Amino acid sequence: ESQDCFTNWKGIDKSMLPRSFNKTLFPLLKHSPQHTLMFRTPINTNIVPEPYPKEYHDCWDHNHVKMPCSKHNSLIDKDNNCRKRRWDIINNALTRPITSSEELEKAILLYNLKYKERWRFHLLHSFFNECLSEEETDSFFNNLLPKIIELALKLPKLITSPIPLLKQNSSHSISFTQMQIACLLANAFLCTFPHRNVSTLHSEYSSYPQINFHELFQLRVLSSSHNCLFEKLKCIICYFKKVTTDDSDLSGIVTYSRRYLPDNMLPFWLKSNKQLTNLYITSAGTIEDDGDGMFQIDFANKFIGGGVLGHGCVQEEIRFLICPELLVSQLFSQQMLATEAIVITGVQRFSNYSGYADSFEWDGVHVDITPVDNNNRRHCTVVAIDAIYYRDPKVQFTPKSLKRELNKGYAGFSWGQNTDCSNVAIATGNWGCGAFQGDCHLKSLLQFLSAAQANRDVAYFTFGDTTLKESIHDMHTFLKNQNLTVGEICKILIKYNMYFLTHPNVGLYEYIYNAVINNDAQKCHSEEKSTQ
């Protein structure tokens, strides 16, 4: 254990933490009932793998994504009293010249007729009118948009196999080429996905996140605090620019997995004899910059992506904006339940950023040099787990809440156990403690317990907070030196919930220190007695 008073980290040296480099990432790239591969294998690095199967296979049911190019995706043409294929209308609408955001809005409404009177793309209009220069706007409509459209219209050639929905209470993975992902995102940008425009209580996809971009496009920039919305568009444009350049390499593979832990796979927390694992803790750096080769935690919403296509602009949304391939998870991931996580393996980062929330700004192109594994996936594993939002902060200390968060953490952290990656460290931080108002002291401890249960070390980023770094480090060291087990620590947490009811001013850490020390004193006392 080393500590360096000249730097801003404590605990074990970061270089001691196991990473995924030189290992084969999980899950393996093999077709199986648990894993759908959207391309032909074996793959040949540097050549974009061919879609599998060769010809488009149509499917329109409750277990698969309803595709814009399906023959079942139709509209009633009232004038001619017949049904028309929506994909034909999309093709017609998008192959006509589009030279302004107004024309783009009109084109998109031609195949979203229901919304003709309802959608106005305020954000798009003000972005091109107020935010970009005239040259930049011209360049978008003359160069980039035609390429985005061309990419989108390749859909039936690029995505030939039906995409399974990653539904609740099941574990499944889907792998795509980066080319296929770009095509899906081009379609999302152009709002072509059917049945995905409303999210009322009983609508078909109400338990899925948004995928079409219409809601983002409709936001209004009412004050400078909304300027981050422009920055979102810059990130998206940066992505499309990169993936539509001729020399861009889209041969990489990305795997989207849903992990569900049934009851019989959940730990018995109070009985666990596991010891805390190693901790590296720093107030500098971020999960995405400094968690390279680790399992990088996404502080998620149960609807993955959270408010990325709306007003949201905190950890999860920013991650999705700088790595837009993550957005594709929103196409098929049903909202997460308590013992579920979503893991995305192999995404590339396209943008840099500065600021956070209202002050978030796109900060230019990011050149991602993360190495790939032997399946051409980047050594970047993003693990999405959603904390609970505590309107009343007291609730987080109840046994029920503790168990929920422990299980949720464990669902994510136990990904890839008994594989090459079984000891890869977790890169995390103040999960659930920003927008979701959790307590950093409690949540860090809960994550240490889940990580211990999953036999993984932790790199913890306090995001600039040096006091928090010190206090979490001290507590971790204290508990570790006391050789307390996961079960014993859980018991102390449960007792705190009772104590706290009558002593609301006693903080969690103060209570833990006292409880452990008094318990020791008691133990000594009784040992003394027994030796007398």
User: What letter does residue 270 receive in the DSSP assignment?
Assistant: G
- Select the residue whose beta carbon is closest to ligand AR6 and give its number: 306
Query: Which is nearer to ligand AR6, 221 or 287 (by Cβ)?
Result: 287
The dihedral over CA atoms of 479, 485, 491, 492, expressed in degrees to the nearest 10, equals: -10
Half-sphere exposure for 65 (CA within 13 Å, toward CB): 27
Query: Is the C-alpha dihedral spanning 323, 325, 330, 336 positive or negative?
Result: negative
Which helix H or strand E contains 365, and what residues bound it?
strand 361-365
At its nearest, how many Å lie between ligand AR6 and the CB of residue 359?
Answer: 13
Nearest to ligand AR6 of 176, 461 (CB atom): 461
If the CB atoms of residues 9 and 140 are measured against ligand AR6, the closer one turns out to be 9
> Least CB distance from residue 141 to ligand AR6, whole Å?
32
d(CA 222, CA 279) in angstroms, rounded, equals 44
469 vs 60: CA distance, rounded Å: 51
We find the least distance from the C-beta atom of residue 10 to ligand AR6, in angstroms, to be 16
Query: Nearest CA to 28 among 345, 385, 384?
Result: 345
Separation of alpha carbons 62 and 76, rounded Å: 22
Query: How far is Cα 138 from Cα 145, in angstroms, rounded to an integer?
Result: 10
| CB of residue 531 to ligand AR6, shortest distance in Å | 49
Residue closest to 447 by CA, chosen among 393, 392, 493? 493
Could you give the angle at the alpha carbon of 379 between the alpha carbons of 376 and 380, nearest 5°?
120
Measured from the CB atom, the residue of 313 and 479 that comes closer to ligand AR6 is: 313
Nearer to ligand AR6, 151 or 446 (CB): 446
CB 377 within 8 A of CB 173: no
- Report the DSSP beta bridge partners of residue 296: 382, 427
Query: Three-state SS for 459?
Result: strand
The three-state DSSP-derived secondary structure of 203-236 is: CCCCCCCCCCCHHHHHCCCCCHHHHHHHHHHHHH
Identity of the residue, 69 or 424, whose beta carbon is nearer to ligand AR6 in the bound complex:
424
**Block residue for tokens 């940066």:** 238
Q: How far is the CB of 137 from ligand AR6 (least distance, A)?
A: 30
> CB of residue 443 vs ligand AR6: minimum separation in angstroms?
9
Output 68 or 305, the one with its CB closest to ligand AR6. Answer: 305
User: CA-CA distance, 321 to 319, in Å (whole number)?
Assistant: 5
Least spacing, CB of residue 438 vs ligand AR6, in Å: 6
Residue 525's Cβ-count burial label (10 Å; 0-12, 13-18, 19+) is exposed
Q: Which contiguous run of DSSP H or E holds residue 82? A: strand 82-85
Give the residues lining the site for ligand AR6 (CB under 6 A).
Answer: 286-288, 299-301, 306-307, 312, 314-317, 387, 429-436, 461, 463
**Contact present, 328 and 187 (Cβ < 8 Å):** no
Closer residue to ligand AR6 in complex, CB, 121/436 = 436
CB of 406 to ligand AR6, least distance (A): 16
- Coil, strand, or helix at residue 255? strand
The DSSP H or E segment spanning 240 is helix 227-244
**How many Cα neighbours within 13 Å face the side chain of 282?**
21
| Residues designated catalytic | 298, 316-317
Amino acid in position 288: E
CB of 11 to ligand AR6, least distance (A): 16
Residue 316 contacts by C-beta under 8 Å, 6 or more apart in sequence? 298, 299, 300, 301, 305, 306, 308, 384
In this structure, what are the phi and psi dihedrals at residue 133, rounded to the nearest 5 degrees? Answer: -75, 165
* Least distance to ligand AR6, CB of residue 29, Å: 29
Tokens 């928090």 -> residue: 468
